[in-house]
Amino acid sequence: MRTRLEICSWVFALLLVGCFVTGRSAGQGIEGDRSPVDLVVGPKSQGASWIVTVNQTSDSVSLVDIVSGKVLDEQRVGEYPTGIVLHPSLERVYVTGSYSGTIHAFGVSKGKLVSEGVWKLGGQPTGLAITGDGERLMVALTDSDEVVEVGSFSGEVLRRIPVGRWPRSLALSKDGRRMVVGTSGDRGISVVDLDAGKMVHLDRFVGLNIGHMQLSSDGEHVYFPWMVYRRNAINEGNIRLGWVMASRLGRIGFGDDARREAISLDPPRQAVADPHGICLTSDDSCLVISASGTHELLVFKMAGLPFQDRGSTDHLPSELIPSPRSDRDVSEDRFYRIDVGGRPMGIRMSEDNRTVFVANYLDNSVQIVDIQQRKTVRRIELGSAPEVTEVRRGEAIFYDAQRSLDQWYSCHSCHYLGGSNSVSIDTMNDGSAYTFKTVLPLYELDQSGPWTWHGWQGDYLEAMKHSLRTTMLGPIPSDDDARAVGAFLAGLKAPPRIASVDSTVDRTPREESARRGKEIFNSSKGGCADCHIGTGMQDAKIHDLGLGASGDEYAGFNTPSMRRVSSKVLYLHDGRYDTLEEVLRGDHAPHRVHGEELSDEEIGDLVAYLRTL
């Protein structure tokens, strides 16, 4: 074991190499943007000096030597990789391929990533954690609303635990007997008893887009960032008060009645947006968050942070805001911000408790940030810098909260990764106030006109400009800005529908049920195909079924796309239903629209088919 002095000497030697080191990719045939979203770091004190990054748009992982700044190896993984975890032995890493439904295991040896298995799970695996003995992986399956326990060497599925909707991140207690899961579809945190193999508690607090999780050194709390929508109309006054979208830091314990505690993250007039990654120093004295929408790291000194057990303030507590005096001692600041540019995502703290490694998505790099110097001291490129295309520029705008008033939120804040969200929101896009609408997905958006819930917008470019102006209320967008965002969304593919894979279950009954459901969908009895037609299952027409509100500016609603309909958690324009079953029995039941009344069995078959879309 090396001493702290030796570790610090290594880090400072690393910093002296220079502020910018360009690595060269060792990937064979891998070109273009890497877009890293997460990373792990091999501890120097145990003989490692490398990083492995998860590169989302190139579907790859990169092995980076920290000292030289070289990319030693790059290997392909499953489609749309999202999460990574390091085995306690420091000799293996595991990576989730979200869209391919896979886990990839790699050994790290002699400057190489050696494939040690690919395991098919289905269900859109996202975040993952590993037990202290290194024997079991816990994997959040966002699409199937469960965490699956997997043998870390065999890849065998040991059990599946329902945890609530849209699980994306998770953390294990030190003894491996409890787990907390960020279930953004249920707008909260689930607590799971792993001895019993079941969820024992759900704490709901309008937790949207819940980010990464970090266990405290004493094992008492899990820290995590998230965003909240406070159910107010999007206008200048509400935005500046912090009453629309806002960012929070939370913590929660592992008990059956655990409740989150929170701090608001947004300073007045210069808010924070899209907090995602999180890390702590080894002594819990300092906490760092990546604010991906505002291109920065947020640094907090932990002593005396004013967490509230319910509710929160509208803005960052005033006692944490640094004094504007030029002669102040900056070392005493309890909170400060470090601009890193791009889109910082996953972050890891070095053993020296001052160096943070950042996976920067839009910068295609690993950044090394000294939180005491408050600046990026090195940058390691993950590949040759590609040309910035119109699509990539549109992607940058989509994720940029500085396009909104006082940078409170980005397009992504509501349309998570271009998809939906778990709240209904009141924008001025429908011409009226306090007529809340669910968030429509934006996949291949150019093909789904007319646009908006009421379908009043028929010009794609104008639809982009109007949303950037009236929803974001930030700088006036140019035509080039609108075209760039439009190009990005036109090429944005929906996640594939991936059924859970379980070889012990006979899937024939489910497949037969879906086949019968498809017949009902296309028959006069179901009447669904009268409006939901074509590849997007929408007819580009406005229908008035008497479901609107008195305050609506427009009559009728644009037929929404049915792609990935079962992944939603709110249904119809106002989110009045939580499940497809409720839709088919309620105000949008077939016999109330174009079809006939269905039996319980027929509704079950129709739902089985809708889950395949």
* pLDDT exceeds cutoff 60 at 5: no
Asked if residue 37 belongs to a domain, the reply is yes
- pLDDT, one tens digit per residue, over 479-515 is 999 999 999 999 999 998 765 555 555 667 788 999 9
Cα–Cα distance measured from residue 152 to residue 156, given in angstroms and rounded to the nearest whole number: 8
- Supply the mean pLDDT for the chain: 91
- In terms of average pLDDT, the best of 246-255, 314-323, 445-454 is 246-255
Q: What is the CATH number of the domain that holds 28?
A: 2.130.10.10
Asked whether residue 376 falls in the same domain as residue 400, the answer is no
Asked whether residue 348 falls in the same domain as residue 396, the answer is no
The rounded radius of gyration (Å) of the Cα atoms in the chain is 24
Asked whether residue 473 falls in the same domain as residue 539, the answer is no
Asked whether residue 145 falls in the same domain as residue 174, the answer is yes
Q: Of 424, 456, 490, which residue sits at a domain end? A: 490
**Average pLDDT value for residue range 83-98:** 96
Token pair listed for 558: 């644009």
Asked if residue 497 belongs to a domain, the reply is no
- Report the pLDDT value the prediction gives residue 429, as an integer from 0 to 100: 77
pLDDT-derived band at 85, boundaries 50, 70, 90: very high
Percent of the chain with pLDDT over 70: 93
Which of these ranges, 276-285, 388-397, 528-537, has the smallest mean pLDDT? 528-537
Q: Of 459, 490, 521, which residue sits at a domain end? A: 490
**Average pLDDT value for residue range 400-429:** 94
| C-alpha angle 317-323-325 in degrees, rounded to nearest 5 | 170
Q: Of 436, 463, 490, which residue sits at a domain end? A: 490
Q: What is the CATH number of the domain that holds 477?
A: 1.10.760.10
- pLDDT, one tens digit per residue, over 548-601 is 888 888 888 989 888 889 889 999 999 999 999 999 999 999 999 888 999 999
Asked whether residue 287 falls in the same domain as residue 186, the answer is yes
Cα–Cα distance measured from residue 557 to residue 36, given in angstroms and rounded to the nearest whole number: 39
Asked if residue 502 belongs to a domain, the reply is no
Asked if residue 496 belongs to a domain, the reply is no
Asked whether residue 168 falls in the same domain as residue 127, the answer is yes
Asked whether residue 441 falls in the same domain as residue 356, the answer is no
Residues 6+ apart with CB under 8 A from 151: 135, 136, 137, 158
Query: Which of helix, strand or coil describes residue 322?
Result: coil
Asked whether residue 281 falls in the same domain as residue 406, the answer is no
Asked if residue 191 belongs to a domain, the reply is yes
Asked whether residue 42 falls in the same domain as residue 94, the answer is yes
Q: Which of 53, 25, 33, 31 minimizes the C-alpha distance to 41? A: 53
How many of the other CB atoms lie within 10 Å of CB of 354?
Answer: 18
Asked if residue 501 belongs to a domain, the reply is no
- Report the pLDDT value the prediction gives residue 268, as an integer from 0 to 100: 94
- Report the pLDDT value the prediction gives residue 508, as an integer from 0 to 100: 73
**Average pLDDT value for residue range 223-245:** 94
Number of domains in the chain: 3
Asked whether residue 125 falls in the same domain as residue 180, the answer is yes
- pLDDT, one tens digit per residue, over 13-30 is 333 333 444 444 455 678
Asked if 243 contacts 228 with a C-beta cutoff of 8 angstroms, the reply is no
Which domain, by its residues, includes 205? Answer: 4-385
**Average pLDDT value for residue range 36-65:** 91
Asked whether residue 359 falls in the same domain as residue 445, the answer is no
Cα–Cα distance measured from residue 416 to residue 422, given in angstroms and rounded to the nearest whole number: 10
Cα–Cα distance measured from residue 194 to residue 78, given in angstroms and rounded to the nearest whole number: 28
Asked whether residue 289 falls in the same domain as residue 414, the answer is no
